[in-house]
Chain A
Protein backbone atom coordinates (compact mmCIF):
# COMPACT_ATOMS: atom_id res chain seq x y z
CA UNK A 1 0.00 0.00 0.00
CA UNK A 2 1.59 3.27 -1.18
CA UNK A 3 -0.48 5.44 1.14
CA UNK A 4 -1.77 7.47 -1.81
CA UNK A 5 -5.55 7.34 -2.17
CA UNK A 6 -7.37 8.09 -5.40
CA UNK A 7 -11.12 8.31 -5.86
CA UNK A 8 -13.12 7.23 -7.66
CA UNK A 9 -11.51 4.02 -8.96
CA UNK A 10 -13.67 3.99 -12.06
CA UNK A 11 -15.57 6.73 -13.85
CA UNK A 12 -17.77 6.36 -16.91
CA UNK A 13 -19.14 9.44 -18.56
CA UNK A 14 -20.01 10.92 -21.94
CA UNK A 15 -18.29 13.27 -24.34
CA UNK A 16 -18.61 16.93 -23.45
CA UNK A 17 -18.96 16.26 -19.73
CA UNK A 18 -16.77 17.41 -16.85
CA UNK A 19 -15.30 15.22 -14.11
CA UNK A 20 -13.19 15.69 -11.01
CA UNK A 21 -10.60 13.19 -9.85
CA UNK A 22 -9.41 13.31 -6.26
CA UNK A 23 -6.11 12.39 -4.65
CA UNK A 24 -4.93 12.24 -1.06
CA UNK A 25 -1.14 12.08 -0.85
CA UNK A 26 0.86 9.87 1.47
CA UNK A 27 1.04 11.24 4.98
CA UNK A 28 3.89 13.74 5.23
CA UNK A 29 4.26 14.26 1.49
CA UNK A 30 3.99 17.86 0.35
CA UNK A 31 4.11 17.35 -3.39
CA UNK A 32 1.52 15.82 -5.69
CA UNK A 33 1.90 14.79 -9.33
CA UNK A 34 -0.70 13.85 -11.91
CA UNK A 35 -0.05 11.44 -14.79
CA UNK A 36 -2.14 10.09 -17.64
CA UNK A 37 -1.54 6.55 -18.90
CA UNK A 38 -2.95 5.33 -22.20
CA UNK A 39 -1.99 2.59 -24.63
CA UNK A 40 -0.97 4.99 -27.41
CA UNK A 41 0.70 7.75 -25.36
CA UNK A 42 2.16 5.73 -22.51
CA UNK A 43 2.64 7.40 -19.15
CA UNK A 44 2.56 11.18 -19.51
CA UNK A 45 3.33 13.70 -16.79
CA UNK A 46 0.58 16.30 -16.52
CA UNK A 47 1.29 18.63 -13.60
CA UNK A 48 2.98 18.90 -10.21
CA UNK A 49 2.04 20.82 -7.08
CA UNK A 50 4.12 21.50 -4.02
CA UNK A 51 2.49 22.72 -0.82
CA UNK A 52 -0.41 24.25 -2.70
CA UNK A 53 1.58 25.92 -5.48
CA UNK A 54 2.03 24.73 -9.05
CA UNK A 55 5.64 23.65 -9.50
CA UNK A 56 5.87 22.05 -12.94
CA UNK A 57 3.68 21.57 -15.94
CA UNK A 58 3.85 18.80 -18.51
CA UNK A 59 1.58 17.73 -21.32
CA UNK A 60 -1.60 19.01 -19.73
CA UNK A 61 -4.37 20.15 -22.05
CA UNK A 62 -6.05 23.52 -21.54
CA UNK A 63 -9.31 21.64 -20.88
CA UNK A 64 -7.66 20.11 -17.82
CA UNK A 65 -6.89 21.91 -14.59
CA UNK A 66 -5.71 20.93 -11.16
CA UNK A 67 -5.21 22.35 -7.72
CA UNK A 68 -3.78 21.38 -4.36
CA UNK A 69 -5.70 22.41 -1.28
CA UNK A 70 -4.38 23.52 2.15
CA UNK A 71 -4.87 20.00 3.52
CA UNK A 72 -2.60 18.86 0.62
CA UNK A 73 -5.19 16.78 -1.20
CA UNK A 74 -5.40 17.50 -4.90
CA UNK A 75 -8.07 17.47 -7.56
CA UNK A 76 -7.73 17.11 -11.31
CA UNK A 77 -10.60 18.59 -13.30
CA UNK A 78 -11.21 17.40 -16.83
CA UNK A 79 -13.75 19.27 -18.93
CA UNK A 80 -15.27 19.09 -22.42
CA UNK A 81 -14.30 15.44 -22.40
CA UNK A 82 -13.39 13.72 -25.65
CA UNK A 83 -13.13 10.02 -26.49
CA UNK A 84 -9.35 10.35 -26.50
CA UNK A 85 -9.37 11.34 -22.83
CA UNK A 86 -10.20 7.77 -21.89
CA UNK A 87 -7.20 6.64 -19.85
CA UNK A 88 -5.88 5.75 -16.44
CA UNK A 89 -5.11 8.84 -14.39
CA UNK A 90 -2.53 8.43 -11.64
CA UNK A 91 -1.68 10.62 -8.75
CA UNK A 92 1.71 10.31 -7.09
CA UNK A 93 3.26 12.07 -4.13
CA UNK A 94 6.70 12.73 -2.74
CA UNK A 95 7.97 14.41 0.38
CA UNK A 96 9.61 17.54 -1.02
CA UNK A 97 8.86 17.36 -4.73
CA UNK A 98 12.47 17.21 -5.82
CA UNK A 99 13.52 14.89 -8.61
CA UNK A 100 15.95 12.95 -6.42
CA UNK A 101 13.11 11.41 -4.45
CA UNK A 102 10.97 8.41 -5.32
CA UNK A 103 7.34 9.03 -6.14
CA UNK A 104 4.57 7.01 -4.51
CA UNK A 105 1.68 6.22 -6.82
CA UNK A 106 -1.96 5.61 -6.13
CA UNK A 107 -3.84 2.88 -7.98
CA UNK A 108 -5.38 5.33 -10.38
CA UNK A 109 -8.78 6.36 -11.66
CA UNK A 110 -9.87 4.60 -14.84
CA UNK A 111 -11.83 7.10 -16.93
CA UNK A 112 -13.99 5.79 -19.75
CA UNK A 113 -15.64 8.22 -22.16
CA UNK A 114 -18.60 6.81 -24.08
Chain B
Protein backbone atom coordinates (compact mmCIF):
# COMPACT_ATOMS: atom_id res chain seq x y z
CA UNK B 1 0.00 0.00 0.00
CA UNK B 2 1.12 3.57 -0.59
CA UNK B 3 2.56 5.43 2.35
CA UNK B 4 2.53 8.95 0.94
CA UNK B 5 -0.50 10.44 -0.74
CA UNK B 6 -0.17 13.59 -2.83
CA UNK B 7 -2.81 16.24 -3.17
CA UNK B 8 -4.09 17.53 -5.52
CA UNK B 9 -3.98 14.76 -8.12
CA UNK B 10 -3.66 17.39 -10.85
CA UNK B 11 -2.79 21.08 -10.86
CA UNK B 12 -2.96 23.47 -13.79
CA UNK B 13 -1.45 26.96 -13.52
CA UNK B 14 -0.03 29.77 -15.65
CA UNK B 15 3.67 30.49 -16.01
CA UNK B 16 4.89 32.75 -13.25
CA UNK B 17 2.39 31.50 -10.68
CA UNK B 18 3.36 29.44 -7.65
CA UNK B 19 2.49 25.76 -7.40
CA UNK B 20 1.87 24.01 -4.09
CA UNK B 21 1.60 20.26 -3.73
CA UNK B 22 0.90 18.40 -0.53
CA UNK B 23 1.84 14.98 0.75
CA UNK B 24 0.32 13.13 3.67
CA UNK B 25 1.57 9.91 5.18
CA UNK B 26 0.49 7.48 7.84
CA UNK B 27 3.43 6.13 9.84
CA UNK B 28 6.80 7.25 11.22
CA UNK B 29 9.43 8.33 8.76
CA UNK B 30 13.18 8.93 8.79
CA UNK B 31 12.99 11.44 5.99
CA UNK B 32 10.82 12.53 3.08
CA UNK B 33 11.99 13.05 -0.47
CA UNK B 34 10.39 14.82 -3.41
CA UNK B 35 10.97 13.66 -6.97
CA UNK B 36 9.93 14.91 -10.40
CA UNK B 37 9.05 12.70 -13.35
CA UNK B 38 8.81 14.01 -16.88
CA UNK B 39 6.64 12.01 -19.24
CA UNK B 40 8.30 8.74 -20.21
CA UNK B 41 11.40 9.38 -18.10
CA UNK B 42 12.75 8.23 -14.77
CA UNK B 43 12.29 10.07 -11.50
CA UNK B 44 14.64 12.91 -10.70
CA UNK B 45 15.48 13.69 -7.08
CA UNK B 46 14.58 17.23 -6.04
CA UNK B 47 15.02 17.56 -2.31
CA UNK B 48 15.32 15.47 0.86
CA UNK B 49 14.08 16.70 4.22
CA UNK B 50 14.92 14.85 7.42
CA UNK B 51 12.33 14.15 10.09
CA UNK B 52 13.96 16.66 12.45
CA UNK B 53 13.86 19.46 9.86
CA UNK B 54 10.88 21.72 9.32
CA UNK B 55 11.77 23.56 6.13
CA UNK B 56 14.26 23.30 3.32
CA UNK B 57 14.98 25.39 0.24
CA UNK B 58 16.62 24.60 -3.07
CA UNK B 59 16.48 27.26 -5.76
CA UNK B 60 12.79 27.87 -6.53
CA UNK B 61 11.73 24.92 -4.38
CA UNK B 62 10.58 25.14 -0.79
CA UNK B 63 9.67 22.04 1.17
CA UNK B 64 8.05 21.97 4.58
CA UNK B 65 7.55 19.01 6.88
CA UNK B 66 5.13 18.78 9.80
CA UNK B 67 5.66 15.45 11.52
CA UNK B 68 2.87 16.13 14.03
CA UNK B 69 0.40 16.32 11.14
CA UNK B 70 2.29 13.73 9.08
CA UNK B 71 2.32 16.05 6.10
CA UNK B 72 4.71 17.83 3.76
CA UNK B 73 4.32 20.44 1.08
CA UNK B 74 6.35 21.31 -2.00
CA UNK B 75 6.17 24.89 -3.24
CA UNK B 76 7.53 25.80 -6.66
CA UNK B 77 7.78 29.55 -7.03
CA UNK B 78 7.61 31.48 -10.30
CA UNK B 79 6.76 28.34 -12.25
CA UNK B 80 7.92 27.77 -15.82
CA UNK B 81 6.52 25.65 -18.63
CA UNK B 82 9.53 23.35 -18.11
CA UNK B 83 8.21 22.54 -14.62
CA UNK B 84 5.37 20.57 -16.24
CA UNK B 85 5.79 17.05 -14.84
CA UNK B 86 4.49 14.64 -12.23
CA UNK B 87 5.72 15.21 -8.69
CA UNK B 88 6.03 12.42 -6.15
CA UNK B 89 6.74 12.39 -2.46
CA UNK B 90 8.62 9.40 -1.13
CA UNK B 91 8.50 8.60 2.54
CA UNK B 92 11.44 6.73 3.92
CA UNK B 93 11.63 4.29 6.82
CA UNK B 94 14.11 1.73 5.62
CA UNK B 95 12.69 1.77 2.12
CA UNK B 96 11.22 4.52 -0.02
CA UNK B 97 7.47 4.42 -0.56
CA UNK B 98 5.84 6.70 -3.11
CA UNK B 99 2.39 8.17 -3.46
CA UNK B 100 0.41 8.39 -6.69
CA UNK B 101 1.85 11.80 -7.53
CA UNK B 102 0.57 15.22 -8.56
CA UNK B 103 0.45 16.05 -12.26
CA UNK B 104 1.50 19.67 -12.68
CA UNK B 105 0.79 21.50 -15.92
CA UNK B 106 2.26 24.96 -16.37
CA UNK B 107 0.80 26.88 -19.31
CA UNK B 108 3.06 29.38 -21.11
Chain B contact residue count (CB 8 A cutoff): 24
Query: Is A99 touching B44 in the complex (CB atoms < 8 A)?
Result: no
Within 8 A of B (CB), among A39-90: 42-43, 45, 48, 56, 58, 90
Give Cα A45 to B99, complex, Å.
11
Chain A contact residue count (CB 8 A cutoff): 21
19 further interface pairs, Cβ-Cβ under 8 Å (given A33-B96, A99-B94): A42-B98, A42-B99, A42-B100, A42-B101, A45-B95, A48-B95, A90-B42, A90-B43, A99-B93, A99-B95, A102-B33, A102-B48, A103-B33, A103-B43, A105-B43, A105-B44, A107-B40, A107-B42, A108-B41
Chain A residues within 8 Å of B, Cβ to Cβ: 2, 4, 33, 42-43, 45, 48, 56, 58, 90, 92, 99-108
